[in-house]
Each structure stands twice: as C-alpha cells, then as structure tokens.
Chains A and B, each alone.
Chain A
Amino acid sequence: MAAEMLVVHELNKTFATPSGDVIALNRIGLQVKQGEFITIIGPSGCGKSTLLKIVAGLDTKYEGTVLVNGKPIDGPSIEKGFIFQEPRLFPWLTVEKNIAANLSLRKPEVRKRVDELIALVRLQGFERSYPRELSGGMAQRVAIARALLRSPDILLLDEPFGALDAFTRSHMQEVLLDIWQSNKTTMLFVTHDLDEAVFLGERVVIMNPRPGHIRSILPIDLPYPRKRAGHAFQELRHKVLNEFEKVEGPAVDEGAHI
C-alpha cells in the first residue's frame, strides 16, 4: 500500500468581498497516494485553482485539514513544485539559469541535473537563449524543468497547458506523462479541458461551483499510453461530461482535440 501523499479533509475557504462573504471551497475532501496522477476538472469559479494554491502553501487562510506527507502546510516548500498557467520565467536569465534560479550552476551537481533536465524537456541548443526567444510551449517546458530540479514529492500544475495550441498541448501532455512515469512524482493537475483530464489522470476529480465543491471522483481504468480515439476513452469522457450536465449546461471545454 502506497502512503498518502496528500490528505485534504473538511477544507473550507471563504473570500471576504464588499458584498459579503463568498464561499470558494465547501467541505473539500481528497486523498492522494504517493505517485498518483490526479486531474481536477471544473468550470471557472469552482475553486480548483484556489485548492491548488492552498496545497502549495501560497494561500494559508483556510479552515480544515491539509496534510502533505502527514504534516500540515505552513507555506511553500521545496517538496511541492508548482507550475503556473503562464511560464513565469525570469526574463533577464537564460534558459539554464532560469532552471537553476536561486541555485548556482557553478556547483557540479546542479550543473549535471540542469543538463539532464534540459535533455528531458528536449531543449538542447537553447541553454543560453533568453525567454523572449522561446515559443510558448518551450517556455512552459523550462518552467517544468525548473520545478523538477527541486525534485518535488508532489507537482502542482495550474492549467499549465491552457494557453498552448492543440499540437503543442498534446506534445506537452506526453512529455509530462514521460516525466511522471520515470520519476514517479505525485501529480495534481488542474484543467478545464475534458480530454486532458481523461487523457492524463488515474482519477478525475470533478468540481462544481457556487459553492466550490467536489461533485465526484472518477477512476480512469485505462492503461497508458492512452488512445484518445479509442472506444473506452470516449465512453469515460462521456461519463465525466455527464457529471457536469446533471447540474447545468456544458460548462467545460469539450471542443474537439487531436
């Protein structure tokens, strides 16, 4: 039995606004095992990014229990890698220095790891390029390498491929699965893309808004690599979609993807 990497229990979060308190998260409960790939899907405003920020330690004002590796969180830490929706690279640093960030490339072990990661995210030849010279997909891969350098136990991804075109996005999804399979990093992946959620996750957490809550958690029992066009894939995709349609119209992005 793998250990529980992340335990969320009775988590509530309210935002104070001028027109009164708004409940962003209502009684969230979730248990994630070591090495598991979880995708969280829901329409905007369902609190999925808020949940991720709380787990990351970027937002510490909440009620309830959140345990990472059995310990309550008291801020960001290196065991929790975070990848934002945009790459958020430091524009004044080259690719390799962005990955190293506050670590020195002069240390041989850092140098070695950075080179390995550049190879892993397939950016050889761009080590000394500046972010402005990169495409969106390349920049996001730098951000992934930067998070991986700290060897996090859990990687938190907040719609990381949302701004990429369909081709790049599917390529990035495969890169991420490669990384997951070779490193066995626990993944918590937030998305509003139905196909992405089913393609990546071992379990899909479906959230709904007003107030943000978990509607259901569906296991995706398909072997990797998954075929999007396959019959089983489409069936599961419909199953997830049905969970949304019980409440309201299609609120998530279900546009056709390759």
Chain B
Amino acid sequence: MIGSGGAESALRKAVKAKKKRTRSRFSIQTVNLLLSLLLPLGLLAVWQIAGMMGRLNPTLLPTPGLIVEEFVALTMSGELFYHLSVSSWRALLGFLLGGGIGLAAGLWVGFSYRAERLIDPSLQMLRTLPHLAVAPLFILWFGFDESSKILLIAKGAFFPLYVNTFLGIRSVDSKLFDVARVLQFSRWQMITKLVLPASLPNVLLGVRLSIGVAWLGLVVAEMMGSSSGIGFLINDARYLMITSVVFVGIIIFAVVGKLTDSLVKLLEKRLLRWQDSYKGEGVS
C-alpha cells in the first residue's frame, strides 16, 4: 500500500515537472530546425557558385539568384498571386468534393459489410487508374472549363480518404466494443463516441494523403489545358523557354504543398494528443 502511494506522488511530481521542461525543449527545436536546413542550404550555395562560374547552362539551370529575381518580379506584377489563388481554389474545391464523398463512402462501407461487398471491389479497380489516363476522357465529357479540372482533382482526393476511413473503422479494438455494450451505449453513441474517435488517426492520415493527391491532380489538370493557375504558368513558361518561371512554379507547388501538409499535421497533433505511440526516440 505504501509502495503504490509513493509511486503515485512521484507521478504527480512528474506531471508538474513536465510543464517546466518545455523551456529547454525550445532550444532542441531550434537545433533540429538548423539541422534540417543544412542540406538544402548547402545544395543552393553550390548551385549558385557553379552558375556564377559559368559551369551551368542558364536556359536549363538558371541560378537561384535569378529564380529569386523572377519570383520577385512575378509577385510585384500580381501575376503569381492571381495564378496561385486560381490553383488553390481549384484544389480546395476538388479536395472538398472528392474528400467529402470519400469520407462518406468510407463510413458507409466501414459500417456495413453488405456495402463493402457491393461497392469496394469496383472502387478498388477504379483506384488504380492514373490521372493521365482519364484526363482526356474528363475533358471530352466536361469540356475545358473548371468542372473537368475540379472533377479530376476530386477523383484523386477521393481514394485516400475512402481507403483510410474504411480501414480506420474496421480496426477499432473489439474489446472496446464489449465495454460500450456493457455501458449501454446506444447505436448512435457507438458511432460518435467509439468508432469515430477510434478511427480518427486513420481519417486524418487520409486527409493528409488526399490533400497531397489533390495537389498532384491539379498539376495534371492545369497542364492538360488551361489559361490560368500555377500549372498553366509552368506550361506556358516551358513553351517560351523561360526556365526561371518554371522553377518558380515548381517551388510554389512545393511550398504550398508542404504548408498545407503541416497544417493538417498540426491538426493531428491537437486532435490526437491522447495517442500513446512510438515517437522515434530512444533507439540509437
């Protein structure tokens, strides 16, 4: 009795001490950030120096300095912002449409064995179709305007959310179902208080992957035929051999993609605070 009492007060202290430790963790974060920047910054330096020494063909590989100049020019003219907002809007609409239907379908198939047998095999077949293969068909059906692009993005965004929601529901611990039965959960409570929170990690992973795929689908859609958007900017610059603009477009894709991913990761961290899983430390 004394033993367990002592252990508890120690635990209480540990909980308090954890709050104090956050300050020293700040410096660790700074070090980690610097560490992750080392490789890309080194690469950029080598690239810039090689370019200035005339070792690189400027039409194929303009120097980072030149790309930055182009970036500034495109930003000042407002061109970049315009194309970016058009692209973001398309990606968002496509993601909401495809992801939303994917989530709903995943929930439906997850909860019903009959629905699984009815639609999962067909969906798995469609899942393997590449964007480039169906893009011409979408253009034939829906024309060159916005709807074909948004539908192409939606098609891509659908599957990660569908697959992961389905998987999340099916991997809920059956032992917790027994607990819920003993505690007299209603059917609705089984869904909202057990299945949905338990499958949330998978659903959020699905959201992350969906956004990534939506972004990829956007590029394909905008390069197939479009008069605006970052994809158009890249394609247009390619015709005119302005490589620095191509680079600016690619970098914008990378940065925005990374930003949206970080946003979802932040959401994950907030919503999944309760998770007790391996964080990648303690093994050397």
Contacts and interface: CB of A to CB of B under 8 A. Distances in A.
Contacts of B193: 90, 101-102
Nearest to B12: A125
Nearest to B194: A90
- A interface secondary structure, majority: loop
Contact of A168 (B4, B176, B183, B186): B4
A58 B175 contact: no
B178 A92 contact: no
B181 A58 contact: yes
A56 interface: yes
Contacts of A101: 183, 185, 193
B7 A135 contact: yes
Contacts of B183: 101-102, 146, 150
B184 A76 contact: yes
A170 B274 contact: no
B182 A76 contact: yes
A78 to B, nearest CB: 5
Given A101-B183, A102-B193, A167-B4, A84 B274 contact: no
Contacts of A58: 178, 181-182
A113 B276 CA distance: 29
A88 interface: yes
B121 interface: no
Interface in B228-284: 272-276
Contacts, number: 79
Nearest to B197: A92
A102 B275 contact: no
Nearest to B200: A92
Nearest to A125: B12
Interface in B1-51: 1, 3-5, 7-8, 11-12, 15
B104 interface: no
Contacts of A56: 182
A77 B276 contact: no
Nearest to B173: A88
Nearest to B3: A167
Interface residues on chain B, size class: 20 to 34
Nearest to B186: A102
Given A82-B182, A171-B4, A174-B1, A93 B274 contact: yes
A131 interface: yes
Contacts of A80: 182
A32 interface: no
Contact of A77 (B5, B184, B189, B198): B184
B140 interface: no
Contacts of A137: 4
A178 B75 CA distance: 73
A88 B185 CA distance: 15
A245 B181 CA distance: 38
B184 A78 contact: yes
A132 B4 CA distance: 18
A130 interface: yes
Contacts of B274: 91-93, 130-132
Given A58-B178, A102-B183, A167-B1, A133 B197 contact: no
B179 interface: yes
B24 to A, nearest CB: 20
Interface of B: 1, 3-5, 7-8, 11-12, 15, 175-176, 178-186, 189, 193-194, 197-198, 200, 272-276
25 contacts: A58-B182, A75-B181, A76-B181, A76-B182, A88-B175, A90-B194, A91-B274, A92-B197, A92-B198, A92-B272, A102-B184, A102-B189, A130-B273, A130-B274, A130-B276, A132-B274, A133-B11, A135-B7, A138-B11, A150-B183, A167-B1, A167-B4, A168-B3, A168-B4, A171-B4
Interface of A: 56, 58, 75-78, 80-82, 84, 86, 88, 90-93, 101-102, 122, 125, 129-133, 135, 137-138, 146, 150, 167-168, 170-171, 174
Given A88-B176, A101-B183, A174-B1, 14 more contacts: A80-B182, A84-B175, A90-B179, A92-B197, A92-B200, A92-B272, A101-B193, A102-B185, A125-B15, A129-B15, A132-B274, A132-B276, A168-B4, A171-B5
